[in-house]
Chains A and B, each alone.
Chain A
Amino acid sequence: MKKTLNVLAFLILLGSCAKSEPPATPPPPALKPPVGFTQEETKDGLVLSAQARLRKLSLHLRGITPDLQEYDDLKTAKDLTLFFKAKTDEYLKSPRYVAKMVDRLDTLFRLRQSAGLPESRALKMNQKEPDPTLNPGQETYNSMDLLFERIAKENLSWDSLLTEKNYEVQSPEPTVSFRTSDLAFFRPIAPELPEPQPTTAPIVIFPITSAHQKYDLLKTPFKENDARLAGSISTSRFLARYSTTNLNKSRGRAAAIFRIFLCDDMRAVVEPKPEEEAELLENAFPKPRWDSVWLHSSLDEDKHGTQPACMACHYKLDPMGKAFINYSTSIALEPANGALVYNRADGTQVNLPGKGLGQVLHFLAKQPEYATCQVSHFWKWFIRGDQLPKEERLKELVQKFNELGHRTNDFVAYLVSQPEFSAHPDSITVSTNLADVKPVLLRCDECHSGVTEQVIPSFVKFPLGGNEKEHREWLATIARKLDIKNNGLNKKMPPKDSAWQPTEREIALVKEWVRQGAKAEDDKTTIDESLAKSLVE
């Protein structure tokens, strides 16, 4: 009886949790800043005071403010460099840092957006001190979550997200309908793992194991060269989050990988207006050649994926999607061929065929674009979320990321020791000139040159159109067509059927360039402040 009521209460609780809005950020405990909590002007520009830096360090690494004792320790510290190094090391070893990093990865992977799943691990830790009678991280019962944890806890290489071959799995697993089972997922290739909890009803409507039940973390026994395994991607949670069907052919999964690991937003090229929907459907899902039978979802492979607009994404998605063909709610028994294919910024194409997800994603982790993208994530998490560093600075950071062997915490420690971390947010706006946006504008020129040369000038020859008046008008046109005010949300150019579409980062770069007065390569502004402001705000 009591058990039944507990089950009902649990279900009601799940329902009420599902309706609540996720908080934007974990609320730090109320704490008045000590005297001296101000910014300071130094020879390096406006930088945070030591107290403000400590507060920022603690918030960024742990999600909470330092306690008063730490501020006192700071006051008496003889060597601030050593003090902050020690604090960074201390914070990086704390469970709260692990929780923060798992939250960041959850957001990056677009997890936990719906009913019944924990919203934020760091927030949960802030709300209440962990109950010592419970296992730490009660909710972390999926191999993907546990891998996220290990990356932060054990300072693993960030590449583990793509290349790790061994997992921790929880046993017994809470058998809840919205979760897929790790044990059931891995058992076909690891029969030594225990059977998952029996699910006897057609629909599992309650957890068979209690939330307070103790569990063991088992290690999977896979080999380092197992081509079926690819870090967080070959987990039941990733595959369930980015589910697929025969019709989709895992393109959604491939798109998530391009977004997360190559910062390629893979935005839909074709966004139909209502009157264009029929045409789009015909292009995407051509009617079958067979006349005798009407098959509503038939797909003619010979035609599909050959439409130029579709190919802007399909040429990348389809080869990677193929490597997923044998994954379902259980892992692939045999690896399928796939390939990593994409065009670099310089126009050359990466085309690396591989056996199984393991090999294809191993190739991905070796690409320079991958390292740059991952450093960009770290920059946004730890330095500034709304803006990337200048190209040269980004290159320096990528070099350091490579030197550190992509070790997660080593790179975080490096990043928070950098001047940008201690700089006041208003003082770290990077200077952007024509040289920075040239690669983007040249892509515009590629199509506009030739037949339209007389009408549309080159966008990299200043002043645009040959005089100042034309220059201002063309800059306004560029800003409007790219819709930089709305970060490209309603952009009119390039056309939707263009094979090239600027990324969010590229549009942000153009926006920042215009904001700063559309500087030429000699760093001189070419439009006045009021026009620049009117174009971006």
Chain B
Amino acid sequence: MKKLFCILVLSLSFSFLASAADPVVTKEDGKPVTIKWDDTKIAEYQIAKGPLFTGEVPFQVSENSCSNTVPQGCFLKMHVQIHLPVIYWKKHPKPEREGKVVLAKFSNQEFLINFPYIITMDERILKDPIAKDFPVDEIVCDDFSWLPGKHGTTPPNKTTVTKWNVEKMVTNPETGVSENRPVGGGDQVELEKVGPKSLGIMRAKALFGPQKTLIRDGDILALVLPTADGEFCQISIKANSQKFANEAGAKYYEVLAAFKPSAAPYLWKSDEFSTTRFPYFFQYFLQKPASWDPQ
């Protein structure tokens, strides 16, 4: 997953410093957002959405104080969807540019203006309207005896993870030492049996951390669960998401390549855009389109 996110971050890391004539941004409820420089140059915000991608991320339990059992044949069944907001030319003095994605020019280099982000179960749990029908991610195992309680091969009907931490190797800013640290996670994450070998990750009281995520950008998932005697125990899960990230990342390029056929206008104040993953740069472009030189 981390690699996928790195790809997306890199594509966001533009600096647009050139100046341009002041354009007019039209934002009317229920209508496409447009940028008009003059009567000959008009651009429109659009969003393309990739197909839902489902993949399996195998995981191992690297520490377990809840049980002495090692889970066998476990994986996370995960879903992601690439969303790709862009600005494209609706009207341009050079007709060949029309229907193409707008480029921003900086230091004689042109950059494609696109703001990719991905939708995961995080957005569903955060009740982002764009993900209201998003499928539930699952923990799939042949054996659930690694969880607290006396479970065998059947998952518990319902269990709650008190604290779900996403841990990552990052530098402690107060010491300068690189260490594994919690960077996000969720409180009271509810898991429910959704199949004979599956626990669905249904909902959470809250997600925390800068990204509000249960899965993004972490190396280890560290779960704190209650035990029958009123104490808590901990389980660390190390997931190998490399293959999944590569496959999901490839979808980004597919969406980009097939942008035009699947794109739809971005309607102002519609549900066509994530409320939780609103890219800052896109927001900035909506407010300050004059700060870049459109090509």
Tell me which residues across on chain B come within 8 A of A4, comparing CB atoms.
15, 17, 291
Q: Is B163 within 8 A of A115, CB to CB?
A: no
Taken together as a complex, chains A and B put the C-alpha atoms of A283 and B58 apart, in Å, by 30
Taken together as a complex, chains A and B put the C-alpha atoms of A75 and B234 apart, in Å, by 67
Q: What is the number of residues of chain B that contact chain A, defined by CB distance less than 8 Å?
A: 57
Q: Is B236 within 8 A of A246, CB to CB?
A: yes
Q: Is A202 within 8 A of B9, CB to CB?
A: yes
Q: Is B234 within 8 A of A249, CB to CB?
A: yes
For this complex, into which size category does the number of interface residues on chain A fall? 35 or more
Tell me which residues across on chain A come within 8 A of B175, comparing CB atoms.
110, 113-114, 241
Q: Is B208 within 8 A of A333, CB to CB?
A: no
Tell me which residues across on chain B come within 8 A of A347, comparing CB atoms.
none
Q: Is B234 within 8 A of A329, CB to CB?
A: no
Nearest CB to that of B230 among chain A residues? A337
Nearest CB to that of B282 among chain A residues? A200
Q: Is B187's beta carbon under 8 Å from chain A?
A: yes
Q: Is B231 within 8 A of A184, CB to CB?
A: no
Q: Is B173 within 8 A of A326, CB to CB?
A: no
Q: Is A157's beta carbon under 8 Å from chain B?
A: no
Q: Is B176 within 8 A of A113, CB to CB?
A: yes
Mark the stretch among A26-34, A57-65, A288-296 that contacts chain B.
A288-296
Q: Is A326 within 8 A of B277, CB to CB?
A: no
From A181, A245, A334, B162 is in contact (CB under 8 Å) with: A334
Tell me which residues across on chain B come within 8 A of A187, comparing CB atoms.
206
Q: Is A246 within 8 A of B235, CB to CB?
A: yes
Nearest CB to that of A247 among chain B residues? B63
Q: Is B188 within 8 A of A333, CB to CB?
A: yes
Q: Is A268's beta carbon under 8 Å from chain B?
A: no
Point out which of A116, A201, A288, A322 has the most chain B C-beta atoms below 10 A from its C-beta: A201
Main secondary structure of the interface of A (DSSP, over half): loop
8 A Cβ contacts from A175-206 to B = 177-179, 181, 184-185, 187-188, 198-204
**A45-71 vs B: 1/0 string, CB under 8 Å?**
000000000000000000000000000
Q: Is B9 within 8 A of A246, CB to CB?
A: no
Q: Is A301's beta carbon under 8 Å from chain B?
A: yes
Tell me which residues across on chain A come within 8 A of B15, comparing CB atoms.
4
Q: Is B256's beta carbon under 8 Å from chain A?
A: no
Point out which of A288, A322, A328 has the most chain B C-beta atoms below 10 A from its C-beta: A328
Q: Is A240 within 8 A of B174, CB to CB?
A: yes
Q: Is A348's beta carbon under 8 Å from chain B?
A: no
Mark the stretch among B30-38, B133-141, B178-186, B260-268 that contacts chain A.
B178-186
Tell me which residues across on chain A come within 8 A of B283, comparing CB atoms.
200
Q: Is A1's beta carbon under 8 Å from chain B?
A: yes
Tell me which residues across on chain A come within 8 A of B60, comparing CB atoms.
293, 295
From A181, A246, A296, A322, B222 is in contact (CB under 8 Å) with: A246
Tell me which residues across on chain A come within 8 A of B206, comparing CB atoms.
187-188, 330
Q: Is B279 within 8 A of A200, CB to CB?
A: yes
Q: Is A115 within 8 A of B17, CB to CB?
A: no
A503 → chain B, closest Cβ, in Å?
23
Known: A333-B188, A337-B230. A241 touches B174 (CB 8 A): yes
Q: Is B187 within 8 A of A333, CB to CB?
A: yes
Q: Is A269's beta carbon under 8 Å from chain B?
A: no
Q: Is B63 within 8 A of A202, CB to CB?
A: no
From A114, A290, A336, B173 is in contact (CB under 8 Å) with: A114
Tell me which residues across on chain B come within 8 A of A325, comparing CB atoms.
163, 224, 232, 234
Q: Is A111's beta carbon under 8 Å from chain B?
A: yes
Tell me which residues across on chain A come within 8 A of B179, comparing CB atoms.
243, 245
Taken together as a complex, chains A and B put the C-alpha atoms of A532 and B185 apart, in Å, by 59
Q: Is A298 within 8 A of B63, CB to CB?
A: yes
8 A Cβ contacts from B60-77 to A = 60-63, 65, 68, 70
A243-B172, A322-B232, A326-B162 given; name 8 further pairs at CB < 8 Å: A241-B172, A243-B181, A246-B167, A295-B63, A322-B231, A328-B185, A329-B184, A337-B231
The chain A residues found within 8 Å of chain B, CB to CB, are 1, 4-5, 110-117, 177-179, 181, 184-185, 187-188, 198-204, 240-241, 243-247, 249, 288-290, 292-293, 295-299, 301, 322, 325-326, 328-330, 332-334, 336-337
The chain B residues found within 8 Å of chain A, CB to CB, are 5, 8-9, 12, 15, 17, 19, 60-63, 65, 68, 70, 162-163, 165, 167, 171-176, 179-185, 187-188, 205-206, 208-211, 216-217, 220, 222, 224, 230-232, 234-236, 277-281, 283, 291
List 12 A-B pairs, Cβ < 8 Å: A114-B176, A188-B208, A200-B283, A245-B222, A246-B167, A290-B68, A297-B63, A298-B63, A325-B224, A326-B163, A329-B209, A336-B232
